[in-house]
Homo-oligomer: A and B are copies of this chain.
């Protein structure tokens, strides 16, 4: 099964490698138009998925996440138009020089080839991930949830027809119909077929990939993000940043989970911040020092330091120094995003150097770790690993680089 998909994808990738931006953009624009036109067909498929999911006992937010309606189909189409408008990363020369013997060296950005995406019961990811892979010149193998298979197939059918109409191979977008666990494992180990596996799911998917995957993959890991308020912080900036980092959108990976406060400003800052957060509906769990300052605060235990709440809960700890703050971050953090609030250059430099996360904010909210905020136009995810790409992943994360050397007969002596 995966062998057949893989062969088709590899063949399509060979054609996509030299597809022009114009052809790829035409395919994306046409896919957007055709998705809107096909709304009745897509909603019919989605209704079948919804029935199946309800029969299986799916409810609430999970069920809502897989629901499509005309607005959401339009949202997918608009997403594809945004991707069409992005600059094509393929073909840019990222470095170039001339060897002493006159051979010219160019390092050129190229598609990766075949990109597989594993995702949860969110049919919009089919359009989103398929569109991004296509824009970067890759053939996509998309494996969603069994609960959204009909929706995913309907969306992919429309996109495949648009890709073909633009003169590109329809197999640029393929759906894995085997949504079993064995199917996932087969995908994760298909080294000959897959150049990159992108996970768009929760911790259990990442854990499965870390345990089983032998294909190259990126880790889009958890965000246990920290804000450290230094002894030399402007406390009004600190208050705004902590409030924003915690409450602006608590359910996402770049929300802050733990607040670290320098002892020298704890007396003043902890009670104020506790009030502000409390007013915003945030439950606070503190260490002994923090609870001494705000006695009604719940006690934090070791689990709290490790937890990505993704909720209106924040852990608070009082520390003695920048180094102790960094030590806490390095012990409990997930390498996603940390922030320091300070007016002093030496403290900022020390915090940046002593931590090892993908992104460090100096006097800014952790919420800025985002492909859109970074100006990438689209986001495939956020890498918390160190190889290939780190931090917000835009289209470039779906590309590779190769070298083209041009001479006029040079040989090595």
Contacts and interface: CB of A to CB of B under 8 A. Distances in A.
Interface of A: 14, 17-18, 97, 99, 103, 105, 110, 112-113, 191, 195-196, 210-211, 213-214, 216, 234, 236-237, 240-241, 243-245, 248, 330, 348, 352-354, 356-365, 367-369, 373-375, 385-388, 390-391, 400-412
Contact of A352 (B211, B387, B404, B407): B404
B364 A406 contact: yes
B105 A374 contact: yes
Contacts of A244: 411-412
A245 B405 CA distance: 15
In the complex, the 10 A-B pairs of residues with the closest C-beta atoms, listed nearest first: A364-B407, A244-B411, A237-B409, A367-B412, A386-B400, A18-B353, A387-B388, A365-B411, A388-B388, A362-B406
A405 B97 contact: no
A402 B390 contact: yes
Nearest to A364: B407
A99 B243 CA distance: 21
B364 A410 contact: yes
Given A244-B411, A248-B411, A386-B195, A402 B364 contact: no
Secondary structure at chain A's binding surface: helix, strand, loop or mixed?
mixed
Given A103-B364, A112-B387, 11 more contacts: A99-B374, A110-B356, A112-B386, A245-B411, A359-B403, A359-B404, A362-B404, A363-B409, A364-B405, A386-B400, A390-B403
Contacts of A405: 359-362, 364, 368
Given A353-B18, A368-B410, A412-B244, A113 B402 contact: no
A125 B248 CA distance: 52
A133 to B, nearest CB: 14
A281 B63 CA distance: 71
Contact of A409 (B14, B97, B234, B360): B234
B241 A386 contact: no
A229 to B, nearest CB: 12
Contacts of A103: 364, 368
A411 B367 CA distance: 8
